[in-house]
Amino acid sequence: MNAIEENAIELRHVSRWYGNVVAVNDVSMTVGPGITGLLGPNGAGKTTLLTMMAGFLAPSRGELTVAGQPSWRHPGVFRLLGLVPERDSVYAFLTGLDFVRSTAKLHRLADPDAAARRAIGIVNMADAQDRRISTYSKGMRQRIKVAAALVHDPRILLLDEPFNGMDPRQRLVMMDLFERMAQEGRTIVFSSHILEEVERMSGTIQVIVGGRLAASGDFRAIRRLMTSRPHVFLVRSSADRALGAALIGRPAVSGVELTPRGLQVRTSDFGTFTREIAGLCKDGGIALREVRPSDESLESVFSYLVAT
């Protein structure tokens, strides 16, 4: 049983589609204790993946198990699992304490009041707990949702964009909380589309792009992959072919393509390239008209990871 518990969430060739739209495409992964971040651009399928893990959506294909059992149609899985959904939807007419305590009662805890207060203490909402949730700010609502997800001491915590609406200090506090919980042996899975949010975190990253699992592993290693990725520039000059021939001889240039719009140059060393191109043009008597980077967006950054 222990081995299954360790591999808390398992996905095997999980796909989910809505009619013609494939939201999650053949994802296989194993999520164990510690922190796992689901990273990816908006619309990549992170929420769909989390929703399936949480048992609120069935995979169209493949198997998804939580602690050995499928989470779909198994309300019992929620004894082990806490979910913090992204939507800002919560019983606004209840007080914070009321909401968390009711959740504790729904979990059939022996002392719901104590559990609620403890959970609220963990997220530092004790001084607002007697106010109605409708009076809370967005960050406070996030925190009370986290408290409700923690109240039954789950070994797995799923959070969808938990840092939305939090200021940097709150983010740090929340990350600290995750680290502490991870050290206790829990499994924390959260989704985000902002790299900088997860900069300092000590766990595994799963990069989801276009519904597919694009990269997994340590955050720092992936980051390195991204900064040492090839850059692509569009160059227009008075003699593209000649310039292209000169460029391909340089070690900093890894590829050159003649396109109707100009010369497309791939380089793995941005700095050297930019230094050398001016010299090459001068030597060859070529007038350089335009050097334009063509891949600054996060999308293309992630798509490099897919290609890799």
Partner 1 sequence: MSVLLNPVVLRITLRAALGRKRALVFALVPTVLLGITVLLKLVAHSPVWPAEFLGVFGFSVVLPLTSLIIGTSVLGAEIDDGSIVHLLATPVSRLGVVISKFAAAVILTILFGAIPEFLAGAIAKGFGDRLTIGLLAGALLASVAYNALFVMLSLLTTRAIAVGLLYLLVWEGLLGNLIGGVRVLSIGQYSVGVANSIAHTSALNSHLTARTAIIMAVAVTLATLAVAVRRLSSFALKGESV
Partner 2 sequence: MATDRIPGSIQAMPGTGVIHDIGYQSYEGRRLGRLAIVTALCLHSLRSAFGFGRGVKAKIVPALTFVIMCAPAVINAVAMALNHDHARLVSYDTYVGTLRVLVTLVFVAAQAPELVARDLRSRVLPLYFARPIRRSDYPTAKYAAFVLACLAMIDLPVLLLYIGTILQVHGGSEVWAQTRAAVPGLLVGLMWAVLLAAVGLALASVSGRRAFSTGSVAIFLFLTWTLVGVLSRISVTSSGGSSASGPGGVVRVTGAAHLFGLVSPFTVLDGVRQWLGGTSPGIVSAPGRYGVAYGVMLLVFLGASLAGFFLRYARTDVG
Residues that bind partner 2 (CB under 8 A): 227, 231, 269-272, 274-275, 278, 291-293
Residues facing 266 on adjacent strands: 232, 255
Residue of the chain from 9, 36, 45, 47 that contacts partner 1 (CB under 8 A): 47
Angle 168-183/138-150 helices, nearest 10 degrees?
A: 10
Cα gap 98→117, rounded to integer Å:
10
Q: Compare residues 241 and 292 and give the one whose CB is closer to partner 2.
A: 292
Q: Compare residues 134 and 137 and give the one whose CB is closer to partner 1.
A: 134
The reply to whether 51 sits near partner 1 by the rule CB under 8 A is yes
Q: Compare residues 69 and 300 and give the one whose CB is closer to partner 2.
A: 300
Alpha helices in the chain (DSSP H): 2-6, 46-53, 96-106, 112-122, 138-150, 168-183, 219-227, 240-248, 270-284, 298-307
Please choose, out of 24-32, 74-82, 254-262, 269-277, the segment that lies near partner 1 by the rule CB under 8 A: 74-82
Phi-psi region of 165 (alpha: psi -120 to 50; beta: other; left: phi over 0): left
Q: What 3-state class would DSSP assign to 187? A: strand
**Contacts with partner 1: how many residues (CB under 8 A)?**
34
Cα gap 154→56, rounded to integer Å:
17
Minimum CB separation of residue 181 from partner 2 in Å reads 35
| β pairing state of 156-159 and 81-84 | parallel
- Which residues in 16-35 contact partner 1 (CB under 8 A)? 18
Minimum CB separation of residue 143 from partner 1 in Å reads 14
Q: What does 293 bind: partner 2, partner 1, none (CB cut-off 5 to 8 Å by kind)?
A: partner 2
Residues facing 212 on adjacent strands: 209
Which of 256, 255, 264 is closest to 233 using CA atoms? Answer: 264
Cα gap 162→150, rounded to integer Å:
14
The reply to whether 94 sits near partner 1 by the rule CB under 8 A is yes
The reply to whether 87 sits near partner 1 by the rule CB under 8 A is yes
Q: What does 275 bind: partner 1, partner 2, none (CB cut-off 5 to 8 Å by kind)?
A: partner 2
Using CB under 8 A, list all residues that contact partner 1: 18, 47, 51, 54, 56-58, 73, 75-79, 81-83, 85, 87, 89-91, 93-94, 99, 102-103, 105-108, 145, 148-149, 152
